Structure 1
Amino acid sequence: MMAYVLGVPLYANTAPLYRFLEPDGWTLRYGVPSELNQQVRSGEIGLSLVSSYFYLKHQEELALLPDFSVAVLGRVYSVNLFHRGELAHLKRVALTTESATSVALLKLLLREQGLAPRYERAEGGLELLEAYDGVLLIGDRAIQAYARLLPALPETPHALPTRFGEVGVEDLSMLWFARTKLPFVFAVWAYRKENPPPKALVAALRRARRLGLARLGKVAEAEARRLGVHPALMEHYLWNFRYHLEEPDRLGLSAFAEALGLPFAPMYYSE
């Protein structure tokens, strides 16, 4: 019997969900959200963390685990528009190729501010600011870019800066919070409706999350070493996340769907 395939974006913010997952008839497949999205839709992967935008676009085919999310209320630190000069002067923006959700959110937020820069897909990091007015980075690449700009770690996260000389940092989750006062859901566990995951796997994921959150300091230390950032910055980054798709998160996901002109009629996993 083939092992059940579970899709996981290899980002620091997903580590608390799977770091302590015990292998028992399933295997992990790592990839960026744009890859995993398509693989779960094609059936190549049984269950995967998928981007919320992808889920909303294909919810007639997909169902959700009802109590899992990767969401944030306020600053997320790893979905950032780095830009030169003032935001109002954006003309060309380089977009990450890793996630459609962040791209859709950026376009929505800028459009509502009356801004319509030219968007171009581009691979790279902050060096793209040599050719573009702004660059959208997500996940590990975004947190590493922010950490490199940070001259020193302040005593409190409230003092973390959002401008470094001529380079400004717009945190998209914070802009969403200012707009809605709701969390932003970046990812959910989803699967094709006709192929629900084994109950034992769902139970194992819940155990793994419980252990990951109970040992968040250890998870943060490991991820900080992997990415080469300060452990205290990584710890603050991880404890900021909401991993349970609670009612405020569902309201945030519904508000994102409404802003995109999409329905929100989720089908949840049946125990």
Structure 2
Amino acid sequence: MTNHQPSSIIHHPYRAGWIHFTNVAPILDPLVLPPSVTAITGVPTAMNEALLSGRVDIANISAVEFIRHADTLAALPDFSVAVLGPVYSVNLFHTRPLEQLRRIALTSQSAMSVALLEVLLAQRGLTPMLERAEGEAEALLASGYDGVLRIGDNALREWYGVVGPFGEDVIVPEIPQVGRGITVTDLAEEWFHLTGHPFVFAVWAYRKDNPPPPELLLAMRAARREGIGHLAEVSGRHAQKLGLPEDVVQHYLWNFRYHLEEADRLGLNEFADLAVPEHAPLTFG
């Protein structure tokens, strides 16, 4: 009688794709991945593609890509990158009033910000020409565009470059959003004026057929507690990288909503109906 040894089972690591902008530093900076998880980093469009193609299993992707692929993706029920009011890092820089814009340069890095801009323009009945072009806002404005959409850390730096520096007695949300002939329109603030709801820029989405292991969720929640609890330290590190005052970066990070609460889901569903009217139901699990 032959003894059959049980075949060995190969466990592949769970693969994460992180978009590591400053706005997720309170979660990703302290995150210690469990041994069963590996991670790569990249810009939003790259991580969106990696998740949809199956090269990674979970990613903090733009909310619009989650909406567009709600048939195959689910989102963690308690993680988001959202704001109620201004976000400071998704900005339309322009030299004419919004109603008079003719050509807007768009970044290729974020489908989310472009979709939000398109919704906001449509709600105002505006139809400027939208063109792909990369570069800093002021350089693109000087080249002939009268509007430039910028996102992420670059947008935060360029916003401060236009409206800063601030005195110690300045309340950041009340500062004029104009400098050197350039107006900065914060798209999240425009959404709030339109709807009164938070705007969700990103969710932590995964493929429905491959949910994340519990140990990754525990590690992420522990990292979020650590990061929010030590926000001054996180802000200090990233202020040095960004070349911005520490109090500006701390205000920026305090502004975010990281828990995908009911108000955030309400705003997310409202945006989904406007941006992708035929979307499948959104799944949070």
- The bucket for the TM-score relative to the shorter chain is over 0.9
Separation of aligned partners in 2, 1:196 and 1:237: 31
State the Cα distance separating 1:160 from its structure 2 match: 2.4
> TM-score, with normalisation over the residues of structure 1?
0.96
In structure 2, the CA distance between the partners of 1:243 and 1:89, relative to structure 1 (3 Å rule), is: same
Whether the 8 Å CA contact 2:163–2:178 is kept in 1: the answer is: no
State the Cα distance separating 1:252 from its structure 2 match: 0.3
Separation of aligned partners in 1, 2:47 and 2:57: 10
Whether the 8 Å CA contact 1:153–1:233 is kept in 2: the answer is: no
Q: 2:284 aligns with which of 257, 268, 271?
A: 268
Separation of aligned partners in 1, 2:28 and 2:164: 32
Equivalent residue letter for 1:265: P
Whether the 8 Å CA contact 2:20–2:28 is kept in 1: the answer is: no
Separation of aligned partners in 1, 2:56 and 2:115: 24
Q: Deviations over 1:63-90 (max 9, x none)?
A: 1100000000000000000001222210
Residue in structure 2 matched with residue 145 of structure 1 by the alignment:
158
| Pair member with larger Rg | 2
> TM-score, with normalisation over the residues of structure 2?
0.91
Is it true that 1:32 corresponds to 2:46 in the alignment? no
Separation of aligned partners in 2, 1:210 and 1:225: 23
Residue in structure 2 matched with residue 66 of structure 1 by the alignment:
77
CA RMSD of aligned residues (A): 1.3
How many residues get paired?
Answer: 269
- Uncovered stretches (5+) of structure 1, i.e. residues with no partner: none
Q: For residue 210 of structure 2, give the secondary structure of its aligned residue in structure 1.
A: coil
In structure 2, the CA distance between the partners of 1:265 and 1:64, relative to structure 1 (3 Å rule), is: same
Separation of aligned partners in 1, 2:190 and 2:162: 21
Whether the 8 Å CA contact 1:6–1:47 is kept in 2: the answer is: yes
Equivalent residue letter for 1:101: M
State the Cα distance separating 1:263 from its structure 2 match: 3.5
Separation of aligned partners in 2, 1:101 and 1:134: 17
State the Cα distance separating 1:264 from its structure 2 match: 5.7
- Uncovered stretches (5+) of structure 2, i.e. residues with no partner: 1-10
Q: For residue 39 of structure 2, give the secondary structure of its aligned residue in structure 1.
A: strand
Q: Deviations over 1:142-190 (max 9, x none)?
A: 0010122234224321332211132001000000000100000000000
Q: 1:128 aligns with which of 130, 140, 145?
A: 140
Residue in structure 2 matched with residue 248 of structure 1 by the alignment:
263
